[in-house]
């Protein structure tokens, strides 16, 4: 499960693939991968985005070699109170809501083709609602992991204590009981010092993975990603035994492996 923070959703451009590189360090701690969790190491993935990541995009990414796929950021309130059913025609599991006699499908997964590689991304700013929304999926064993995106508005990046409390609640009330990994996606802050402080705090919550979008909140996809902080972020994650994935300016898979001199790794 991943949590997200994106106040005004960025337009989609060449940020569709995230990647992780690893190094081996026998002295680094290691966060155990839960039984139903994800090993993020050495993976090419469909990156966690705000609006993109619906079922057709995920299946297409898997077809062309993605190891893991994130669903779109799904607001916690939108999922709470939904009805789950299996579509007899497609075999897909659907979560829907009925309003004014009209049923709307809010989330759809194909368990046969993606459940073992799908990460459900929650948009939230509340520990209580995040847990409630996550349990809708966890109880049915559907996604491989959960992620939260720095939080339901870039403001959550400005409230690291709240973001940490959301992650801690997800780890303790969903991750551990259901043996599912919890991860988080964030953007860079204004200075390396602020980013370093945030990453350190989040890595102490019990998460198994952190995705860094190498742009600050105001930056648009057409602006060059800031990769100079990757080594610092990777080193912090490695020191906590947390996997680190990056995205930004990675589109074709043959461009998805930056030089080891410029990046640091992730989980031991």
On the question of pLDDT at 155 being above 80, the answer is no
Please tell me which residue, 50 or 71, carries the higher pLDDT value: 71
pLDDT band at 22 (very low <50, low <70, confident <90, very high): very low
Which entry of 142, 203, 237, 244 is annotated as an active-site residue? 142
pLDDT of amino acid 144: 55
Cα separation, 110 vs 115, in Å, equals: 7
pLDDT of amino acid 139: 66
Q: What would the pLDDT profile of 27-47 be if each residue is shown by its tens digit?
A: 567 777 888 888 888 888 887
The answer to whether position 94 is within a domain reads no
pLDDT of amino acid 5: 44
The answer to whether position 212 is within a domain reads yes
> Would residue 142 show up in a list of annotated catalytic residues for this protein?
yes
- Provide the number of structural domains found in the chain: 1
Residues 164-186, mean pLDDT to the nearest whole number:
94
Question: Where in the sequence is the domain holding 224, given as residue range(s)?
Answer: 2-81+109-262
On the question of pLDDT at 17 being above 70, the answer is no
On the question of pLDDT at 238 being above 70, the answer is yes
pLDDT of amino acid 263: 40
Two tokens, residue 196 = 């370093």
Q: What would the pLDDT profile of 121-143 be if each residue is shown by its tens digit?
A: 998 989 999 999 999 888 655 55
Global pTM reads: 0.81
Please tell me which residue, 2 or 15, carries the higher pLDDT value: 2
The answer to whether position 193 is within a domain reads yes
Q: Of all residues in the chain, what percent carry a pLDDT higher than 70?
A: 75
| Helix 160-170 with 192-203: angle, nearest 10 deg | 30
Residues 225-241, mean pLDDT to the nearest whole number:
91
The answer to whether position 249 is within a domain reads yes
The answer to whether position 88 is within a domain reads no
Please tell me which residue, 90 or 11, carries the higher pLDDT value: 90
**CATH number for the domain harbouring residue 212:** 3.20.20.70
pLDDT of amino acid 98: 92
| Residues sharing a CB contact under 8 Å with residue 58, sequence separation 6 or more, in sequence order | 46, 69, 71, 114, 118
The answer to whether position 23 is within a domain reads yes
Q: What would the pLDDT profile of 102-115 be if each residue is shown by its tens digit?
A: 999 999 999 999 98
pLDDT band at 252 (very low <50, low <70, confident <90, very high): low
Cα separation, 225 vs 124, in Å, equals: 25
Neighbours of 28 (CB within 10 A): 16
Cα separation, 220 vs 240, in Å, equals: 30
What DSSP element (H or E) covers 3? strand 2-4
The answer to whether position 100 is within a domain reads no
């Amino acid at each position: 499960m991943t949590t997200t923070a994106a106040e005004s959703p960025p337009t989609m451009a060449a940020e569709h693939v995230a990647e992780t590189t690893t190094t081996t360090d026998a002295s680094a701690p290691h966060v155990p991968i839960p039984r139903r969790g994800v090993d993020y190491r050495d993976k090419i993935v469909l990156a966690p985005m705000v609006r993109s990541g619906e079922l057709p995009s995920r299946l297409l990414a898997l077809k062309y070699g993605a190891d893991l796929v994130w669903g779109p950021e799904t607001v916690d309130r939108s999922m709470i109170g939904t009805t789950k059913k299996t579509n007899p025609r497609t075999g897909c599991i659907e979560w829907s809501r009925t309003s004014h006699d009209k049923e709307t499908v809010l989330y759809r997964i194909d368990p046969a083709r993606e459940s073992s590689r799908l990460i459900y991304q929650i948009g939230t700013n509340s520990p209580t609602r995040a847990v409630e929304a996550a349990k809708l999926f966890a109880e049915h064993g559907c996604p491989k992991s959960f992620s939260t995106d720095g939080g339901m508005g870039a403001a959550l990046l400005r409230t690291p204590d709240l973001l940490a409390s959301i992650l801690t609640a997800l780890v303790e009330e969903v991750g551990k009981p259901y043996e599912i990994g919890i991860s988080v996606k964030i953007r860079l802050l204004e200075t390396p010092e602020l980013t370093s402080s945030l990453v350190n705090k989040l890595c102490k919550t019990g998460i198994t993975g952190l995705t860094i979008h190498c742009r600050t909140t105001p930056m648009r996809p057409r602006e060059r990603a800031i990769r100079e902080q990757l080594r610092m972020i990777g080193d912090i994650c490695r020191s906590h035994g947390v996997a680190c994935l990056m995205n930004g300016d990675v589109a074709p898979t043959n461009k998805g492996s930056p030089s080891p001199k410029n990046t640091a790794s992730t989980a031991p």
